[in-house]
A and B are shown apart, each in its own frame.
Chain A
């Protein structure tokens, strides 16, 4: 008997094709704050080609939702400012509206594998902690209390103790030293750090905002 050739989706072979695969969407869409279970049923009915190329309004909506998730996680990786105490607890504040905390925690865990990562989400008012083994748990206690509590049980790490000084001034000095007046390009700058990013906890009082005098609110005039 002749084997029937499977009809392959022509866009499936592309590797880095636009959009996301069905599998990716099913896995990640539940992270979105506006996710409803019926979306998955609708998604299953759509052919992969349509999904990958925003072929219908629904596909477009789903891809937009995925992009929002990825952007939020990426911005958190970029602009979350953290502190490290001498007992190896790395902590910071994030503002995550979608359920991407695990992605952000994992990013810091990859960098500081022997530290406890402790991030407070301003949106849910909860603190998420990831330990050295990559296990995540949440706490509703006050952020500072959580840090105190988990730090107590840990030993002082000698080379973390050496870097217990304020780095804000150092970063500000470094940032200002890199500025080349002749190359000033506010439009490009705004493209790189859109205004809404200044609402993120790490950027609220960021040196970028203080240094870039061109960004003004209506009240400033």
Chain B
């Protein structure tokens, strides 16, 4: 019988390629019936998530991130579990106790619970849920929980998991059915993944509407109508929902993860199209990308490793779609003939392309959307510029922009302040 330490070693190694950056959840305790609102609760979720440690590659390591079991009926060609000879599982009590110990040591913020599919997805999820329930109801743990849905899991189990978790996710792995069958033959893209993502969306909305109704009876909350609107509402532009959409539960929303570069001909455009669609139709909060690393002993051991730079560029593009209100069509303009993003920052590439045909931007006149197209101006500095303009403040020189947080060395070539702009070498020739 393996010890807990051995299990952590094996199951932690098996899950190290899973990605979960955030530990923050804007969930508050004011909601009734949230984990039965025990008086003896332990733990908190911070809006700014604290990282207690970092791995030598600089990644934040603030969640207890292991598989629940590495026994798996699937044989995904890229997966680490393929290579693992020892098959182990936690018991719910062992899992819960270990987390509580680590939480009391102030080394973790919460958990990321994922698993191989042992027997059936339902049986494994039931065990995972048992561990989560122990944490929530026996130890009264109110910290962060990221619950990974297994492909093919039943709806009633997702329904059980939603009120217990801060974030729920299901791995898409690839952008299309064909690419998925190339790397994980046994998984059904439509049924095992997409249908489950739709369920999560529906269940979450329904659950939050019901919770707000309960709140209405118990507590006169002025913002309740606003919150209700926010559950279903969207911003006028961009895909990102309101950061805090009034959801008392599952505040981190649903996320997904892609393995970049495992499928032979999968391009950046394929991935961007997929996340664009998921943001629009599945209420996806964000997508994670994990560049493919060949692992010895797996069928893909001899495959070429995907460059980390590609993963980084995909994140940058994802940011542009979600937060900077770019459209997929905008990004398509900079994508090269192979369907991949060019090397370097996609925003700079787009700005170079965009400002060939458009005038340089005057911060005293440009609308919010245009300001966001300038490298060195982010959503916060763009908002500051707009706010200042509403107070009839005029930007007279570059230093005024610097004061509101614009990165001038990046923004200068695209700005024109009161008709003055940075000269180019060609203007002297």
| Interface residues, chain A, with chain B CB atoms under 8 Å away | 8, 10-11, 13-18, 53, 74, 77-84, 90, 92, 108, 110-114, 159, 162-163, 165, 167-171, 173-180, 182-189, 191-193, 202, 206-208, 211-212, 214
Contacts and interface: CB of A to CB of B under 8 A. Distances in A.
A154 B203 CA distance: 44
B105 A10 contact: no
B80 to A, nearest CB: 10
Given A177-B16, A180-B293, A92 B106 contact: yes
8 pairs of A and B residues whose beta carbons are closest in the complex: A177-B12, A188-B58, A183-B57, A84-B104, A192-B54, A167-B101, A10-B393, A53-B403
Interface residues of B, number: 57
A47 B314 CA distance: 43
B4 A170 contact: yes
Given A159-B138, A159-B139, A162-B97, A167 B105 contact: yes
Which one of B17, B106, B391 has the highest number of Cβ atoms from chain A below 10 Å of its Cβ? B106
B35 to A, nearest CB: 14
A169 B403 contact: no
B61 interface: yes
A179 B56 contact: yes
B40 interface: yes
B42 interface: yes
A189 B54 contact: yes
Contact of B42 (A83, A112, A179, A182): A112
Contacts of B72: none
Contacts of B4: 170
A214 B55 CA distance: 13
B297 to A, nearest CB: 16
Interface stretch (B154-162, B357-365, B380-388): B380-388
16 contacts: A10-B393, A81-B106, A114-B40, A162-B97, A167-B102, A171-B105, A174-B8, A174-B61, A177-B16, A180-B17, A185-B57, A188-B58, A192-B60, A193-B53, A193-B54, A206-B53
A170 B97 CA distance: 12
Given A185-B58, A189-B58, A77 B50 contact: yes
Contacts of B139: 159
A173 B41 contact: no
Nearest to A19: B403
B207 interface: no
Given A162-B97, A171-B102, A192-B58, 13 more contacts: A8-B391, A74-B50, A81-B106, A111-B103, A162-B100, A163-B100, A174-B61, A177-B13, A179-B56, A180-B17, A180-B293, A183-B308, A188-B58
A180 B104 contact: no
Nearest to B393: A10
Given A173-B12, A179-B57, A163 B104 contact: yes
Interface in B353-408: 380, 383-384, 387-388, 390-391, 393, 403-405
Contacts of B17: 180
B51 interface: yes
B44 interface: yes
Nearest to B305: A182
B59 interface: yes
Contacts of A92: 106
B391 A13 contact: yes
